[in-house]
Amino acid sequence: MKEIKITEKEQNQRLDKYLLKYFNKAPKSFIYKMLRKKRIKYNGKKAEGGEILSSGDSLQLYLADETMAGFMEEKTINKAERRFGIVCEDENVIFVSKPAGVLTHPEKESDKNTLIDQILYYLYEKGEYEPSASSVFTPAVCNRLDRNTSGIIIAGKNLMAVQELNRAVLEHKIDKRYIALVKGGLKAKGELTAYIKKDGNRNISSVMNKEVEGGKKILTKYNVINSVKEYDLVEIELITGKSHQIRAQFSAMGNPLVGDRKYGNENINRYFRINYGLNNQFLHAYKLIVNINDGGLSYLSGREFVSPLPEPFSTIKKDIFG
Protein backbone atom coordinates (compact mmCIF):
# COMPACT_ATOMS: atom_id res chain seq x y z
CA MET A 1 0.00 0.00 0.00
CA LYS A 2 1.21 3.47 -0.89
CA GLU A 3 -0.09 6.55 0.92
CA ILE A 4 -0.13 10.05 -0.55
CA LYS A 5 -0.47 13.12 1.65
CA ILE A 6 -2.27 16.09 0.10
CA THR A 7 -0.52 19.44 0.57
CA GLU A 8 -1.65 23.00 -0.06
CA LYS A 9 -0.30 22.70 -3.60
CA GLU A 10 -2.78 19.94 -4.46
CA GLN A 11 -5.87 21.04 -2.53
CA ASN A 12 -9.11 22.46 -3.96
CA GLN A 13 -9.39 20.02 -6.85
CA ARG A 14 -11.54 16.96 -7.43
CA LEU A 15 -10.12 13.63 -6.36
CA ASP A 16 -10.66 12.03 -9.80
CA LYS A 17 -8.86 14.89 -11.57
CA TYR A 18 -5.94 14.56 -9.17
CA LEU A 19 -5.73 10.83 -9.84
CA LEU A 20 -5.82 11.34 -13.62
CA LYS A 21 -2.84 13.67 -13.28
CA TYR A 22 -1.01 11.31 -10.95
CA PHE A 23 -1.63 8.32 -13.21
CA ASN A 24 -1.13 10.35 -16.35
CA LYS A 25 -1.29 7.33 -18.71
CA ALA A 26 -4.39 5.79 -17.16
CA PRO A 27 -7.84 5.98 -18.78
CA LYS A 28 -10.74 7.28 -16.72
CA SER A 29 -12.23 3.80 -16.71
CA PHE A 30 -9.23 2.47 -14.76
CA ILE A 31 -9.48 5.23 -12.14
CA TYR A 32 -13.20 4.69 -11.53
CA LYS A 33 -12.79 0.90 -11.51
CA MET A 34 -10.14 1.19 -8.78
CA LEU A 35 -12.39 3.53 -6.79
CA ARG A 36 -15.35 1.16 -7.08
CA LYS A 37 -13.23 -1.78 -5.95
CA LYS A 38 -11.84 0.25 -3.04
CA ARG A 39 -8.32 -0.18 -4.35
CA ILE A 40 -8.01 3.60 -4.02
CA LYS A 41 -9.35 5.07 -0.78
CA TYR A 42 -9.78 8.63 0.44
CA ASN A 43 -8.87 9.20 4.10
CA GLY A 44 -9.17 5.46 4.63
CA LYS A 45 -12.73 5.27 3.29
CA LYS A 46 -14.45 4.45 0.01
CA ALA A 47 -14.39 7.36 -2.44
CA GLU A 48 -16.58 8.32 -5.39
CA GLY A 49 -14.14 10.63 -7.18
CA GLY A 50 -15.98 13.92 -6.86
CA GLU A 51 -14.60 14.79 -3.41
CA ILE A 52 -12.70 18.08 -3.16
CA LEU A 53 -9.22 17.57 -1.74
CA SER A 54 -8.03 19.54 1.27
CA SER A 55 -4.55 19.96 2.70
CA GLY A 56 -3.89 17.14 5.16
CA ASP A 57 -6.07 14.58 3.37
CA SER A 58 -4.56 11.22 2.49
CA LEU A 59 -5.02 8.71 -0.31
CA GLN A 60 -4.36 5.01 0.09
CA LEU A 61 -3.36 3.16 -3.09
CA TYR A 62 -3.73 -0.63 -2.84
CA LEU A 63 -2.01 -1.25 -6.16
CA ALA A 64 1.05 -3.21 -7.21
CA ASP A 65 4.17 -1.19 -7.89
CA GLU A 66 4.31 -2.44 -11.48
CA THR A 67 0.68 -1.45 -12.04
CA MET A 68 1.33 2.09 -10.82
CA ALA A 69 4.54 2.37 -12.83
CA GLY A 70 2.70 1.29 -15.98
CA PHE A 71 0.23 4.15 -15.64
CA MET A 72 2.78 6.85 -14.74
CA GLU A 73 4.70 8.40 -17.61
CA GLU A 74 7.75 10.50 -16.84
CA LYS A 75 7.11 14.06 -17.97
CA THR A 76 9.64 15.55 -20.31
CA ILE A 77 10.60 19.17 -20.65
CA ASN A 78 11.87 20.73 -23.84
CA LYS A 79 14.93 22.92 -23.67
CA ALA A 80 13.64 26.23 -24.98
CA GLU A 81 15.36 29.49 -25.73
CA ARG A 82 13.68 32.26 -23.75
CA ARG A 83 12.27 34.99 -25.98
CA PHE A 84 9.69 36.50 -23.62
CA GLY A 85 10.08 39.49 -21.34
CA ILE A 86 8.85 39.44 -17.74
CA VAL A 87 6.14 41.96 -16.86
CA CYS A 88 5.48 40.65 -13.34
CA GLU A 89 6.55 37.59 -11.36
CA ASP A 90 6.01 36.37 -7.82
CA GLU A 91 5.58 33.02 -6.08
CA ASN A 92 2.15 32.48 -7.67
CA VAL A 93 2.09 34.08 -11.10
CA ILE A 94 4.27 35.07 -13.99
CA PHE A 95 3.01 37.64 -16.51
CA VAL A 96 5.15 37.68 -19.63
CA SER A 97 5.40 39.69 -22.83
CA LYS A 98 5.14 37.35 -25.81
CA PRO A 99 6.91 38.43 -28.98
CA ALA A 100 5.19 38.15 -32.35
CA GLY A 101 5.93 34.93 -34.20
CA VAL A 102 5.74 32.69 -31.12
CA LEU A 103 2.90 30.21 -30.61
CA THR A 104 1.31 30.26 -27.17
CA HIS A 105 0.75 26.47 -27.23
CA PRO A 106 1.95 23.85 -29.72
CA GLU A 107 -0.62 23.23 -32.44
CA LYS A 108 1.08 20.10 -33.74
CA GLU A 109 3.71 17.72 -32.45
CA SER A 110 6.50 19.34 -34.46
CA ASP A 111 5.94 22.80 -32.90
CA LYS A 112 8.90 23.62 -30.68
CA ASN A 113 9.98 26.59 -28.55
CA THR A 114 6.38 27.67 -27.96
CA LEU A 115 5.70 30.15 -25.20
CA ILE A 116 4.61 27.45 -22.75
CA ASP A 117 7.81 25.52 -23.54
CA GLN A 118 9.83 28.64 -22.75
CA ILE A 119 7.98 29.32 -19.50
CA LEU A 120 8.27 25.73 -18.26
CA TYR A 121 12.00 25.57 -19.03
CA TYR A 122 12.52 28.96 -17.37
CA LEU A 123 10.77 27.74 -14.19
CA TYR A 124 12.61 24.41 -14.34
CA GLU A 125 15.97 26.20 -14.46
CA LYS A 126 14.92 28.32 -11.47
CA GLY A 127 14.02 25.18 -9.52
CA GLU A 128 10.32 26.11 -9.37
CA TYR A 129 9.05 23.27 -11.55
CA GLU A 130 10.06 19.62 -11.44
CA PRO A 131 8.60 17.46 -14.24
CA SER A 132 8.72 14.15 -12.38
CA ALA A 133 6.34 11.26 -12.97
CA SER A 134 4.68 11.79 -9.59
CA SER A 135 4.11 15.50 -10.15
CA VAL A 136 0.41 16.22 -10.59
CA PHE A 137 0.72 19.88 -11.51
CA THR A 138 2.21 21.67 -14.49
CA PRO A 139 2.30 25.49 -14.65
CA ALA A 140 -0.11 26.77 -17.29
CA VAL A 141 -0.94 29.89 -19.27
CA CYS A 142 -4.46 31.22 -18.77
CA ASN A 143 -5.01 33.35 -21.88
CA ARG A 144 -3.74 33.23 -25.42
CA LEU A 145 -2.70 35.44 -28.31
CA ASP A 146 -2.43 34.66 -32.00
CA ARG A 147 1.03 33.62 -33.17
CA ASN A 148 1.67 36.99 -34.81
CA THR A 149 0.17 39.13 -32.04
CA SER A 150 2.54 40.32 -29.32
CA GLY A 151 1.76 41.25 -25.74
CA ILE A 152 0.93 40.09 -22.24
CA ILE A 153 0.24 36.45 -21.43
CA ILE A 154 -0.64 35.41 -17.87
CA ALA A 155 0.42 32.10 -16.30
CA GLY A 156 -0.01 30.42 -12.94
CA LYS A 157 2.87 28.73 -11.14
CA ASN A 158 0.65 26.65 -8.84
CA LEU A 159 -2.80 25.11 -8.89
CA MET A 160 -4.42 27.88 -6.86
CA ALA A 161 -3.08 30.55 -9.21
CA VAL A 162 -4.17 28.71 -12.36
CA GLN A 163 -7.66 28.14 -10.96
CA GLU A 164 -7.99 31.78 -9.86
CA LEU A 165 -6.68 33.19 -13.14
CA ASN A 166 -8.93 30.93 -15.22
CA ARG A 167 -11.92 31.96 -13.11
CA ALA A 168 -11.02 35.64 -13.46
CA VAL A 169 -10.76 35.34 -17.25
CA LEU A 170 -14.08 33.49 -17.45
CA GLU A 171 -15.81 36.07 -15.24
CA HIS A 172 -14.27 39.03 -17.13
CA LYS A 173 -12.32 40.20 -14.09
CA ILE A 174 -9.21 40.85 -16.18
CA ASP A 175 -9.60 43.77 -18.57
CA LYS A 176 -7.44 43.54 -21.69
CA ARG A 177 -6.22 46.53 -23.68
CA TYR A 178 -4.59 46.43 -27.08
CA ILE A 179 -2.83 49.01 -29.24
CA ALA A 180 -3.28 48.75 -33.00
CA LEU A 181 -2.35 50.81 -36.03
CA VAL A 182 -5.17 50.80 -38.59
CA LYS A 183 -6.07 52.43 -41.87
CA GLY A 184 -7.43 55.88 -41.00
CA GLY A 185 -10.95 57.26 -40.92
CA LEU A 186 -12.30 56.08 -37.58
CA LYS A 187 -14.49 58.17 -35.31
CA ALA A 188 -12.82 59.31 -32.10
CA LYS A 189 -14.31 56.42 -30.11
CA GLY A 190 -16.83 53.66 -30.59
CA GLU A 191 -18.53 50.53 -29.35
CA LEU A 192 -18.70 47.89 -32.05
CA THR A 193 -21.28 45.11 -32.01
CA ALA A 194 -21.31 42.45 -34.69
CA TYR A 195 -21.36 38.69 -35.30
CA ILE A 196 -18.33 36.61 -36.18
CA LYS A 197 -18.22 33.25 -37.90
CA LYS A 198 -15.05 31.22 -38.35
CA ASP A 199 -14.21 29.09 -41.35
CA GLY A 200 -12.12 26.38 -39.73
CA ASN A 201 -10.87 24.99 -43.04
CA ARG A 202 -9.26 28.31 -44.00
CA ASN A 203 -8.69 29.61 -40.46
CA ILE A 204 -10.35 32.90 -41.35
CA SER A 205 -13.30 34.69 -39.75
CA SER A 206 -16.11 36.69 -41.32
CA VAL A 207 -17.87 39.55 -39.54
CA MET A 208 -21.51 40.44 -40.17
CA ASN A 209 -23.80 43.15 -38.79
CA LYS A 210 -26.70 40.77 -38.23
CA GLU A 211 -27.04 37.41 -36.54
CA VAL A 212 -26.28 34.41 -38.75
CA GLU A 213 -26.35 30.67 -38.18
CA GLY A 214 -23.14 29.60 -36.50
CA GLY A 215 -22.17 33.20 -35.75
CA LYS A 216 -21.17 34.47 -32.32
CA LYS A 217 -21.88 37.94 -30.98
CA ILE A 218 -18.81 40.12 -30.44
CA LEU A 219 -18.36 43.46 -28.70
CA THR A 220 -15.33 45.69 -29.00
CA LYS A 221 -14.64 49.17 -27.66
CA TYR A 222 -11.99 51.49 -29.06
CA ASN A 223 -10.54 54.95 -28.53
CA VAL A 224 -8.38 56.78 -31.10
CA ILE A 225 -5.11 57.83 -29.42
CA ASN A 226 -3.46 59.55 -32.41
CA SER A 227 -4.63 60.23 -35.92
CA VAL A 228 -3.24 61.47 -39.22
CA LYS A 229 -4.94 61.37 -42.58
CA GLU A 230 -3.84 57.86 -43.51
CA TYR A 231 -3.66 56.10 -40.14
CA ASP A 232 -5.24 55.87 -36.71
CA LEU A 233 -3.50 54.58 -33.59
CA VAL A 234 -6.20 53.04 -31.42
CA GLU A 235 -6.54 51.58 -27.96
CA ILE A 236 -8.91 48.61 -28.06
CA GLU A 237 -10.79 46.90 -25.24
CA LEU A 238 -12.11 43.41 -25.86
CA ILE A 239 -15.44 42.80 -24.15
CA THR A 240 -15.75 39.41 -25.83
CA GLY A 241 -12.67 37.49 -26.88
CA LYS A 242 -13.19 35.48 -30.06
CA SER A 243 -10.42 34.29 -32.35
CA HIS A 244 -9.30 37.04 -34.78
CA GLN A 245 -11.97 39.36 -33.36
CA ILE A 246 -10.02 42.62 -33.58
CA ARG A 247 -8.45 41.88 -36.94
CA ALA A 248 -11.64 40.73 -38.64
CA GLN A 249 -13.87 43.39 -37.10
CA PHE A 250 -11.74 46.39 -38.06
CA SER A 251 -11.17 44.97 -41.53
CA ALA A 252 -14.92 44.60 -42.01
CA MET A 253 -15.33 48.30 -41.17
CA GLY A 254 -12.77 49.30 -43.83
CA ASN A 255 -10.02 50.02 -41.29
CA PRO A 256 -7.77 46.94 -41.45
CA LEU A 257 -4.74 46.59 -39.22
CA VAL A 258 -1.44 47.61 -40.75
CA GLY A 259 0.66 44.56 -41.57
CA ASP A 260 -2.20 42.06 -41.33
CA ARG A 261 -1.49 39.48 -44.02
CA LYS A 262 -4.88 37.78 -43.65
CA TYR A 263 -7.32 40.67 -43.29
CA GLY A 264 -5.23 43.67 -44.31
CA ASN A 265 -4.57 45.94 -47.31
CA GLU A 266 -1.74 44.58 -49.45
CA ASN A 267 -0.53 48.01 -50.66
CA ILE A 268 -0.29 49.31 -47.10
CA ASN A 269 1.34 46.08 -45.93
CA ARG A 270 3.93 46.26 -48.71
CA TYR A 271 4.95 49.79 -47.72
CA PHE A 272 5.55 48.82 -44.08
CA ARG A 273 7.24 45.57 -45.05
CA ILE A 274 9.73 47.36 -47.30
CA ASN A 275 10.37 50.35 -45.05
CA TYR A 276 10.19 48.77 -41.60
CA GLY A 277 10.51 45.04 -42.11
CA LEU A 278 7.00 44.59 -40.67
CA ASN A 279 5.75 41.08 -41.46
CA ASN A 280 2.83 40.82 -39.04
CA GLN A 281 -0.13 42.85 -37.85
CA PHE A 282 0.53 45.97 -35.76
CA LEU A 283 -1.40 44.65 -32.76
CA HIS A 284 0.00 44.54 -29.23
CA ALA A 285 -1.74 43.43 -26.03
CA TYR A 286 -0.11 46.15 -24.00
CA LYS A 287 -2.08 46.31 -20.72
CA LEU A 288 -4.00 44.15 -18.27
CA ILE A 289 -6.11 45.50 -15.43
CA VAL A 290 -6.79 42.94 -12.69
CA ASN A 291 -10.07 43.06 -10.76
CA ILE A 292 -9.80 39.93 -8.59
CA ASN A 293 -11.39 40.95 -5.30
CA ASP A 294 -11.29 37.65 -3.42
CA GLY A 295 -9.31 34.43 -3.25
CA GLY A 296 -5.60 33.79 -3.21
CA LEU A 297 -4.77 36.42 -5.85
CA SER A 298 -6.81 39.30 -4.41
CA TYR A 299 -3.54 41.11 -3.67
CA LEU A 300 -3.32 41.78 -7.43
CA SER A 301 -6.68 43.61 -7.50
CA GLY A 302 -6.54 47.11 -8.91
CA ARG A 303 -3.08 46.68 -10.39
CA GLU A 304 -2.25 47.42 -14.02
CA PHE A 305 0.41 45.50 -15.91
CA VAL A 306 1.96 47.08 -18.99
CA SER A 307 4.11 45.70 -21.79
CA PRO A 308 5.83 48.48 -23.82
CA LEU A 309 5.49 48.57 -27.60
CA PRO A 310 8.17 46.36 -29.16
CA GLU A 311 10.13 47.13 -32.31
CA PRO A 312 9.37 47.94 -35.03
CA PHE A 313 6.05 49.19 -33.61
CA SER A 314 7.63 51.92 -31.47
CA THR A 315 9.65 53.28 -34.42
CA ILE A 316 6.61 53.22 -36.71
CA LYS A 317 4.55 55.08 -34.11
CA LYS A 318 7.26 57.73 -33.69
CA ASP A 319 7.70 58.22 -37.43
CA ILE A 320 3.98 58.61 -38.12
CA PHE A 321 2.79 60.59 -35.12
CA GLY A 322 5.96 62.20 -33.79
Q: Which class for 56: exposed (0-12), middle (13-18), buried (19 or more C-beta within 10 A)?
A: exposed
pLDDT at 29: 95
Q: Count of residues for the chain?
A: 322
- Asked if residue 204 and residue 120 are part of one domain, the reply reads no
Give CA–CA dist 173/157, Å, rounded: 19
Which amino acid is located at 41 in the chain?
K
Strand duo 174-183 + 283-290: pairing? antiparallel
Domain span at 132 = 85-171
Residues of the chain with pLDDT under 50: none
- Asked if residue 313 and residue 276 are part of one domain, the reply reads yes
- Over the stretch 92-123, which tens digit does the pLDDT of each residue have? 999 999 999 999 998 888 888 999 999 999 99
- Asked if residue 161 and residue 182 are part of one domain, the reply reads no
- Asked if residue 184 and residue 167 are part of one domain, the reply reads no
Residue 76, domain member (yes or no): no
Give me the number of domains the chain comprises: 3
Give CA–CA dist 224/247, Å, rounded: 16
Looking at 116, 139, 171, which one is the last position of a domain?
171
- Asked if residue 193 and residue 306 are part of one domain, the reply reads yes
Q: What does the DSSP 8-state code read for residue 32? A: H
Asked if 272 and 259 count as a contact pair (C-beta separation under 8 A), the reply is: yes
- Asked if residue 251 and residue 227 are part of one domain, the reply reads yes
pLDDT at 113: 93
pLDDT at 134: 60
pLDDT at 133: 57
Give CA–CA dist 98/306, Å, rounded: 12
Asked if 312 and 278 count as a contact pair (C-beta separation under 8 A), the reply is: yes
